[in-house]
Structure 1
Amino acid sequence: MDYSEFNDRVSGLSEGIYAGLPIAPVPGEADTEIPAAGETAWRIARDVFDREESFERRFIRLLEKADASAIKAIIAGMWHVHGESSAEVVGLLVDNAHRLPELRSIFLGAMTSEECEISWIEQSDVTPLLEAFPLLERLEVRGGSGLRLRPVRHEALKVLRLESGGLPPEAVRGVGACDLPALEYLELWLGVSDYGGDATVEDLEPILSGERLPSLRHLGLQDSEIQDEIAAAVAVAPVVARLEGLALSMGTLGDAGAEALLSGQPLTHLKRLDLHCHYLSDAMMERLGNALPGADLSQQADLARTGGERYVAVSE
């Protein structure tokens, strides 16, 4: 499935908006009319057909032509031609952190499926971004291959989204080991084992406890081939009682997982329960609809059409 259709739910990239700001490309060499630096989300990406101008050159030109000290949002798109990791991009941002004192939002890996399939995007250790930008409020990463996040305390981060077709267990455990007292929104696309998404329910336990996430109001544990197991763990997880939004969508959720949700702690306090893209029977959908009338139960999969196999919405 083309994962691009899921982008607009939080990132808003498909509407030309990111972090509440209109998206604009890096100015060209000859451009004289440049949007206000602090009122624009700047998209930096190399042209896959232009081998002459590197991502680094476009990044430096942005700092030279715009008022770098006012930049609030950066979107890093295509940075490679031959599959290099995001390490150089992370390094460029970290090395120039002193020139970007107002940076509050970073999207690392904003590539469409036409540019690079999500599971082919090579990521790296993104911890230096949190260390170099203590005032960062929003970090979104697309692509799980090579992704790492070491335990760190960050006082300002409010939104953390990791989109992948296979999120490495090390990254999942890294999230759980971080102290993020201001984090309100956490979304993880866990993916499938074929693309490195081998995280277990045990790996998620520090997140489900909520001990290091006192401000969390929305939790998304999505796109998983063990969605039923996750639903069962969520049904008794301490963090759920203070959530306003819960997403267990895009994965292989079936009647067993839904039964666990109905039998577990109350979910009626949730303002949003997102279960879209699921494998629930008609009878279970009716039960859930009656018990939790606000739940998003759209995009029911047809097991007869898939030969009884279940698939996540986003893998490759």
Structure 2
Amino acid sequence: MINSHVSSFAGLPVLPFTPGMALPDDPSAVAWRLEVEDFEADPEEFAGLVAALRAEVPAEAVRALVIGEWGSAYERALPVELLVEAAPEWTGLRGVFLADLVAEQCEISWLTLPDITPLLAACPTLGVLWVRGGQGLRLEPVRHPGLRELRFEAGGLPAAVVRAVGESDLPALERLDLWLGTSEYGGDAGVDDLAAVLSGAGQPALRHLALANAEIADEVAAAVAAAPVVPRLAVLDLSMGTLTDAGGAALLAGQPLTHLTRLDLHHHYLSEEMAARLVDALPGVRVDVSDPQEADEYDGKPYRYTAVAE
């Protein structure tokens, strides 16, 4: 569950924008947060907020945007077209975070997102893109020469989006975070959908890969154990999911992971013995096996939960 908004983004402190406010001495030194107060606000209210930002903040000073509540986020898709329309003016835009809403505002799996492909096409200077939510989310394979960090946070990430990321040409991408989620909330990706990501072909600069919050964590671990992308990574993150001893054994039996600086497995279902084996096998690696979980029983079978679902 996500309970707090980001206080900084893309290396900048976050400042809420209010029409008519006194601007800071350097308006380019903040990430501007756009959010309406009423969670059921009319679309015109958020559109007016974007228009006011465009009118009052010098376009060249808009370096990063954090989009909060836009009104009925649980059923109305984030109006990314407003950002696409303004993008030619924001020549210095480096970071965008779509849908920084907390659970009290809207559960992550209820957040309604649009096709975000036009945003990437409209923002060639973009270096960081974070997206929260998976309902309705769409992405087509793209080429973006400058994107360095791409993050999808979801209780269920659509398989089509996972495939599109892998098939995209992102030569500068250094960090990729995919919260795969659960099938119950639309996370229908299988390991076959991860094939292009795990090949690393379209992201030659990748150094940090997170395939996190996955109900298929064991299958992901088995695929990672032989994935071509792994030798070039510094950080491998398989945290927040349902990893069991089967997945741990696959990691131990697979290709060497001793080159990593960090292996993040926190929130897991490993036995104490398996967790200790993983730590002992990688003495030069920071292996995070914190936050062990216990499976529940449902209809006589074990049931395991990802860290973020609803």
**Normalising by structure 2, what TM-score?**
0.94
- 2:290 aligned residue (293, 298, 308): 298
Equivalents in 1 of 2:291, 2:62: separation in Å?
Answer: 39
Structure 1 residues 27 and 280: CA distance shift in structure 2, 3 A = same
**Correspondence for 1:168:** 158
Equivalents in 1 of 2:296, 2:59: separation in Å?
Answer: 55
1:94 matched to 2:84: yes
- 1:288 aligned residue (254, 278, 288): 278
Shift of 1:176: 1.0
**Correspondence for 2:53:** 62
**Does the 8 Å CA contact 2:166/2:194 hold for their aligned counterparts?**
yes
**Correspondence for 1:111:** 101
Shift of 1:211: 0.7
Equivalents in 2 of 1:143, 1:35: separation in Å?
Answer: 34
| Residues 131-280 of structure 1: pairs in structure 2 closer than 5 A | 131-280=121-270
- 2:15 aligned residue (11, 24, 41): 24
1:164-201 C-alpha deviation (Å, 9 max, x unpaired): 00001111111111010000000000000011101010
**Correspondence for 1:315:** 309
Structure 1 residues 51 and 226: CA distance shift in structure 2, 3 A = closer
**Does the 8 Å CA contact 2:218/2:246 hold for their aligned counterparts?**
yes
Structure 1 residues 182 and 253: CA distance shift in structure 2, 3 A = same
Shift of 1:135: 1.3
Range that drifts further, 58-67 or 252-261: 58-67
Number of aligned positions between the proteins: 304
What root-mean-square deviation, in Å, do the aligned CA atoms of Structure 1 and Structure 2 show?
Answer: 1.7
Range that drifts further, 43-52 or 279-288: 43-52
**Does the 8 Å CA contact 1:27/1:65 hold for their aligned counterparts?**
no
Q: Give the match's secondary structure for 1:186.
A: strand
1:52-83 C-alpha deviation (Å, 9 max, x unpaired): 77111111111111112221100111112362
**Correspondence for 2:62:** 71
Equivalents in 2 of 1:304, 1:206: separation in Å?
Answer: 34
Shift of 1:41: 0.2
Range that drifts further, 40-49 or 108-117: 40-49
Runs of 5+ consecutive residues of structure 1 not aligned to the other structure: 6-12
Equivalents in 1 of 2:91, 2:3: separation in Å?
Answer: 31
